Amino acid sequence: MTGQTAPTSASDLADLYGPVAGDLPQVEGMLLGLAKVEFPWLRRMLEATLGGGGKRMRPAIVLLAGRLGDYDLERLVPMATSVELLHTATLIHDDVIDAAPERRGRPTAAALFNNASSVMLGDYMFAHAAEFVARTGNIRVIRNFAETLRVMANGELVQDMSAYEYSEDVQRYLDRIAGKTASLFATAAEGGAIVAGAPETAVEPMRRYGLQLGMAFQIVDDILDFSATSEELGKPSGSDLLAGTVTLPTLLYMARSPEDNPVKRAFEGTRRTANLQKAVKEIRTSDLLDESMITARRFAESARQQLAALPAGDVRQTLDSLVDYVLERRS
């Protein structure tokens, strides 16, 4: 895999998001506007969790999809903000469940405050995400948003309940990440197009683009959990497996020696930490990450194929470039 760091500067974002990069600060402003609350403790938590910037890929996809129709920022910015808030809220809850001290090199809300406060903070964001999406005034989008929240919650439940479960298989893994990650990419892409009144010939391809891109994104994320450095990840390498979460590289690793391997021994309770650390090392030094990338590229190519239904221009070109970025990123 070639290396590419996450964009942090305005010029990086302009290169990545093209025609909508200049409008993303409006999403950022709406996010930070949530921190203007009366209660100092809530204000501190919101500033800590919403002020970190980041790639903002999901809201950018909303705005790019909006370019396919009536580009009305009064409706598209709340839609984009709702998607980012929903994403952020799920990360906050994930970090509580995983007892994660850091995410992307920064302390998590749970580490800065406490679990109970972090759960309530996530709930607060869920509520505001729903309020923002309601501002679009589009019943179809609101229904899609509610369904996405249900699917994401189900994906998280499946992941939590299957921790340290040796019977996970590739199809269950793909179903899980479709719900937990890819569904929100699909909602961002489809929702932006619907809010903008884009032709139906563009709406369905955008939904499929978002879903396939989200699948590739999560698989690459799971590869990076092994291949990237702790500095790039902002957490120890192999964190998912060490926490009992089985991802594609691990599934392929287990398939090579299904009857006896360090993961199976660990999940059966034998020297759990030592066996999982051994598995992480062996996966990192094997060809399994390259094999996993074949699957990621397959989903990425499927995402790219959906773009043929869109009109030629800078939006289609930018969406195409995002496919390359997802495959090449290092964080």
Give 249-278 as a 3 state SS string. HHHHHHHHCCCCCHHHHHHCCCCHHHHHHH
pLDDT tens track for 236-250: 789 899 989 999 999
pLDDT at 316: 98
Average pLDDT, the chain: 89
On whether residue 4 sits in a domain, the answer given is no
104 pLDDT above the threshold of 80: no
Asked, for residue 46, whether it belongs to a domain, the answer is yes
Half-sphere exposure of 240 (CA within 13 A, CB side): 20
Residues 56-65: what's their mean pLDDT?
97
How many angstroms separate the Cα of 13 from the Cα of each of 34, 48, 100, 181, 325? 23, 22, 28, 22, 12
Q: Which of 185, 195, 251, 245 is nearest to 216 (CA)?
A: 185
pLDDT at position 52 is 66
Task: State the pLDDT at residue 315.
Answer: 97
Q: What is the pLDDT of residue 2?
A: 33
Residue 115 above 60 pLDDT?
Answer: yes
- Whether 4 has a pLDDT exceeding 60, the answer reads no
In contact, 159 and 165? CB cutoff 8 Å: no
Look at residue 314 in the predicted model and tell me its pLDDT: 96
136 band by pLDDT with thresholds 50, 70 and 90? very high
Identify which has the larger pLDDT, 312 or 236. Answer: 312
Using the predicted structure, report yes or no on whether residue 112 has a pLDDT greater than 90.
Answer: no
Instruction: List the single range of 89-103, 175-189, 211-225 with lowest mean pLDDT.
Output: 89-103
Token output for 293? 């990338």
Determine, yes or no, domain membership for 177: yes
Among 243, 215, 214, 237, which Cα is nearest to 331's?
Answer: 237
- Report the 10 Å Cβ neighbour count for 255: 12
What is the rounded end-to-end Cα distance, in angstroms, of the chain? 12
pLDDT of residue 25: 94
| Structural domain that includes position 294 | 10-328
Look up residue 276 and give its amino acid. L
Q: In this predicted model, what pLDDT tens digit does every residue of 195-238 receive, in sequence order?
A: 999 999 999 999 999 999 999 999 999 999 999 887 777 677 89
Share of the chain above pLDDT 70, in %: 93
Mean pLDDT for the stretch of residues 30-34: 91
- Indicate the range of 67-81, 110-124, 251-265, 286-300 predicted with least confidence: 110-124
Domains: count for the chain: 1
- Chain-centroid distance of CA 307 in Å reads 21
Q: Name 127's Cβ contacts closer than 8 Å, sequence gap at least 6.
A: none
In a domain, 70, yes or no: yes
Is residue 142, in this structure, part of any structural domain at all?
Answer: yes
What CATH number does residue 48 fall under? 1.10.600.10
- The pLDDT tens digits for 263-307 are 999 999 999 999 999 999 999 999 999 999 999 999 999 999 999
